Amino acid sequence: MSKNKPNAPVMIDLSGAPKSKTTPAAAPPPPDLPQKTAVHKMAKSAGKRRSGGWFLTILFTLFTMILGLWAWDYATALLARNPTLGSIVSFLMGLLLALMALFALRELAALSRLRRVDRLRQEFLAARKTTDLGAAHQAFASVSRFYHTHAETEWGLARVNERKDEVVDSSALLDMTEVEVMPALDRAALAEVESAARVVATATAIVPMALLDVFSALVVNLRMIRRISEVYGGRAGALGSWRLTRSVLAHLVATGALAVGDDLIGSIAGGGLLSKISRRFGEGVINGALTARIGLAAIDVCRPMPFVALPRPKVSGVIKNAMTGLFGS
């Protein structure tokens, strides 16, 4: 008969085992795992420059050269045939070229303004990652130069300028800048998002044709993105609006699956419940929620400072204000 009982604990003597000299504090850190989720892959591919862009650039340049040579030959031939009519056509062509040059200058200025906002945002992100007080002061100086002509930010910039020398922490100075300067611009941008969501919801509920719903929502969303850029100082032109729309879509691809959460799902679920009462009204709430999500993504892209000290707006709050303004209650 065995001396050990079947349910008795087993004792293992480790007195003779070699002791490890490695402690948890001295253990090497685990390697960083590469981000290979579908969201990160899509975001990375959205930011890459496609080879088709070079093809379109070369094609547009070649087409412009051919068109210019044809116009030159046409004008010179018309001058030789009829000097008066040729002079009129030449004058109109010169006027058209002047207008095109003015349009190009405006587009370049708009793109430069958008790049300036991007650089300002990158400067704030870099200042957030470091504890250098000088970097924080430099970021505030950049904001002050950028918004010195805006009446909405004049009072906040003055308050920060009075108190910045008393702050000895870089994060505190950046938080103070965001809290004092951004609220007025954020309210104006949220008003644009609420207005766009209200228009899309109303158009979906009233317009009977689905194709018109899609077209109206597209126009309203593009106008909303452009207006949000203007609120934060972007002032995007035609090409700038296209670049800005691409940035907003890339931001939605990168953060949509992670940032939507229960907020947007709750708004869509509310629209689904309302569709039991009125199908068109429920679809309007859902389309308004999607418009609000695009608007909040545009705010994230156009805002020169990331949301840190101030709370990030939510889709449910935007839809609540938009629907309240719609029904006046």
pLDDT of amino acid 51: 52
Which among 168, 199, 181 is positioned nearest to 322, based on CA atoms? Answer: 199
Q: Are 313 and 194 in contact (CB under 8 A)?
A: no
Which among 91, 105, 93 is positioned nearest to 68, based on CA atoms? Answer: 93
HSE, side-chain direction, 13 A CA sphere, residue 133: 7
Dihedrals phi, psi of 10, to nearest 5 degrees: -95, 125
pLDDT of amino acid 34: 42
Per-residue pLDDT of the chain (329 residues; tens, 9 = 90+): 445 555 556 566 555 555 555 555 555 554 444 444 333 444 444 445 555 567 777 887 888 888 888 888 888 888 888 888 888 888 888 898 888 888 888 877 777 777 888 888 888 888 888 878 888 899 899 888 888 888 888 898 999 888 888 888 888 999 999 999 999 999 999 999 998 888 888 887 777 666 777 788 888 888 888 888 888 887 766 666 677 777 777 767 666 544 444 455 444 444 444 444 456 666 777 788 888 888 888 888 888 888 888 998 888 888 888 777 554 44
**DSSP code, position 32:** P
pTM of the model: 0.66
* CA–CA distance, 135 with 177 (Å, rounded to integer): 13
Q: Are 240 and 108 in contact (CB under 8 A)?
A: no
Which among 122, 123, 119 is positioned nearest to 137, based on CA atoms? Answer: 123
Place of tokens 């349009």: 103
Copy the structure tokens of residue 106. 């405006």
pLDDT of amino acid 39: 37
pLDDT of amino acid 279: 61
